[in-house]
Amino acid sequence: MKIMPNRMDRGFFKYQEEFESKAVEVLQSGWYVLGKEVSAFEEEFSEYTGSKYCVGLASGLDALWIAFRLLNIGKGDEVIVQGNTYIASVMGITINGATPVFVEPDEHFGMDSDKIEEKITGKTKAILVTHLYGMASRMDKIVEICRKYNLRLVEDCAQSHGACFNGKMTGTFGDVGCFSFYPSKNLGAFGDAGAVVVNDERLAKDFRIFRNYGSEKRYYNKVVGANSRLDELQAGLLRVRLSHMKEITDEKVKIAERYAREIKNKKIQLPTLLEGATCVWHQYVIRCEERDRLIDYLSEKEIGTIIHYPIPPHLAEAYQYLGHKEGFLPITEHLAKTVLSIPMYNGMTEEEQDYVIDSLNEFK
């Protein structure tokens, strides 16, 4: 049996008729950018997350960098971010000229809230939290630290659509919740797409203006903005997916529960959740000291896996200018050498799950 790390086609076929009829509807409408599908999606997604406003954007990276731009965070400012995040989180900071200050993760892949305060300086302006792999981070503590030091809080929710901490949805704890709808994300479009959720009306308006060349009224440009609009077609297709979000999430939770119950191998460490946190299992990430040998073993059995991520941002070539060397973040660096995402996707059959579980249990 051949198993790929992800099967986005299955997520399409499950709701094929709905996707196809929505696509045709938008194509026939004659209106393709910033129309009624975008407005409707923004309304439905803000309701879904429990925030007041949603603004659709072109990607998750845009959501991040525009967020910092609109919060006036740039050159000379520092933003605290976890070392083990996807590089886009860090780019959201550095595109604006601000400096990322890295913090090590805790046992659950989230920012270690006990290690934040020691990193705060007079230049610290914000904390950027990534709810990595779909797990909510320790938001009670992080919110408390932001209040104590008067810091802005931005959440990278590109992997955590629907994940909650103490019953409150990720993306709604701070100033801006940044979402990506890249096709492989839990709420995936069929191309690039993103959004922010905010509670502040003014900030919501600033995002609307910025995404459209800095104009509120056509050809009257208030600020130097960007072209970062969510397409009508993607918004329409996202509305279809969003209407099934509970089912999509529950299915992944079920697979994760099976994995947790049935994968039993001393060489493999399974992911665990923080108290109060839920996980939507964007990825199911195991750890193994002999990770690279495990990859070879699985690939011989035609089970595809991915490393999220093999090179932590502080060691990426792009960030050599920050001057961090190997050994700077030992926990993050060790994770990069031991984590492995095993197949986890909507539409994964029981036989496929069995095969993954049995194969992992037989690894010696």
Ligand X SMILES: *Cc1c(COP(=O)(O)O)cnc(C)c1O
Q: Which of 84, 159, 305, 346 binds ligand X (CB under 6 A)?
A: 159
In contact, 332 and 84? CB cutoff 8 Å: yes
Residues with Cβ within 8 Å of residue 98, at least 6 apart in sequence: 68, 73, 74, 75, 76, 77, 78, 79, 125
Residue 351: CB atoms within 10 Å: 10
User: By C-beta, is 49 or 130 nearer to ligand X?
Assistant: 130
Stretch that binds ligand X, among 84-92, 248-256, 342-350, 352-360 (CB under 6 A): 84-92
Q: Which amino acid is at 322?
A: L
Q: Which of 67, 8, 53 is nearest to 237 (CA)?
A: 8
Q: Is 133 in the site for ligand X (CB under 6 A)?
A: no
Q: Which residues contact 9 (CB under 8 A, 6 or more apart)?
A: none
Q: Quick check: is 2 catalytic?
A: no
Residue 155: alpha-carbon gap to chain centroid:
9
CB of 57 to ligand X, least distance (A): 9
Report phi then psi at 153, rounded to 5: -125, 120
In the complex, least distance from residue 363 CB atom to ligand X, rounded to whole angstroms: 28
Our CB check for ligand X shows the closer of 184 and 269 to be 184
Q: Which is nearer to ligand X, 61 or 127 (CB)?
A: 61
Regarding 158 and contact with ligand X (CB under 6 A), the answer is yes
180 interacts with ligand X by CB under 6 A: yes
Q: How many residues at the interface with ligand X, by CB under 6 A?
A: 15
Integer-rounded Cα Rg, in Å, for the chain is 20
Tokens for 100? 């990322």
Q: How many residues comprise the chain? A: 364
**Smallest gap from residue 248 Cβ to ligand X (A):** 17
Compute φ and ψ for 5, nearest 5 degrees. Answer: -60, -30
Residue with the CB atom nearest ligand X in the bound state: 60
Helices (H) and strands (E) in the chain, counts: 12, 13
Among 55, 61, 135, 286, binds ligand X (CB under 6 A): 61
Under the binding rule (CB under 6 A), the answer on residue 88 touching ligand X is yes
Active-site residue (options: 185, 267, 301, 364): 185
Q: How far apart are CA 275 and CA 29, in angstroms?
A: 47
Question: Which of 86-94, 142-150, 224-232, 316-324 is the region at the interface with ligand X (rule: CB under 6 A)?
Answer: 86-94
Residue 182 as a binder of ligand X (CB under 6 A): the answer is yes
Instruction: Tell me if 238 contacts ligand X by CB under 6 A.
Output: no
130 scored as a contact of ligand X (CB under 6 A): yes
Which parts of 193-232 interact with ligand X (CB under 6 A)?
A: 194
Least distance to ligand X, CB of residue 265, Å: 28
- CB-CB contact of 132 with 159 (8 Å): yes
The residues assigned a catalytic role are 185
Judged by the rule CB under 6 A, the positions of this chain that interact with ligand X are: 59-61, 85-86, 88-89, 130, 156, 158-159, 180, 182, 192, 194
